[in-house]
Amino acid sequence: MKAYIYDEEDLSDYQNNHDSGIAVSEKNLNDLGVLYFNYSDLKDVDSLAKERNYRNRDQIVLNPQTENLKQKLDMFIKEHIHEDEEIRYIIDGSGFFDVRSADEKWIRCKVEKNDLLILPSGIFHRFTLDSTNYVKALRLFQDEPKWVALNRPVDLSNQYRKQYEQKYLSSITV
């Protein structure tokens, strides 16, 4: 995975790299509650799932043959939060997860084969494919598989957003 500040100069295509040249460290991501792993063996993913109590999983494939691909990407690129962790293991292909920094900048995380990313509940984020237009990902869930996005603006009294702010953002100085 490569993480960097998102360059907002040219917003014409969200599938472009938008690399500002300003790197973001794994520690900076950890401070935001974002966890990164690289596993070439699915057994390691299974061990993490057991350790973190992820009981369910499914797969998603996005490519030019995906029905309504443009509409799905338009939905995924909208800034949102979830009330559950978002866990994605990239089986093949690549894409971008963008997460909000404490000072409201986008941090772009390029994920590729064998990357596993865990986004905490309550973090503002979005996803898109890169220019390869292909990803196959394993989605892990603690409970039944669900994907409920609360698009920004989110009610700031949302308990998951408040918990996220208290746990992660309150200790970060910008």
pLDDT at residue number 115: 99
Residue 80, annotated as binding a ligand: yes
pLDDT at residue number 146: 64
Taking the CA atoms of residue 50, residue 127, residue 100 and residue 35 in that order, the dihedral angle to the nearest 10 degrees is 20
Instruction: Specify whether the CB–CB gap between 149 and 78 falls below 8 A.
Output: yes
pLDDT at residue number 104: 94
pLDDT at residue number 145: 66
- What are the tens digits of pLDDT across the range 12-44? 799 999 999 999 999 999 999 999 999 999 999
Retrieve residue 61's tokens: 């494939």
Residue 18, annotated as binding a ligand: no
Retrieve residue 144's tokens: 């039944």
pLDDT at residue number 52: 97
Q: Give the DSSP letter string of 10-75.
A: --S-TTS--EEEEE--HHHHHHTT-EEEE-SSHHHHHHHHHHTT--EEEEEEESTTSTTHHHHHHH
- What are the tens digits of pLDDT across the range 118-134? 999 999 999 999 999 99
CA atoms within 13 A on the CB side of 73: 21
Under-70 pLDDT residues of the chain: 145-147, 173-174
Secondary element (H or E) of residue 115: strand 115-119
pLDDT at residue number 59: 96
List domains and CATH numbers for the chain.
Answer: 2-171 (2.60.120.10)
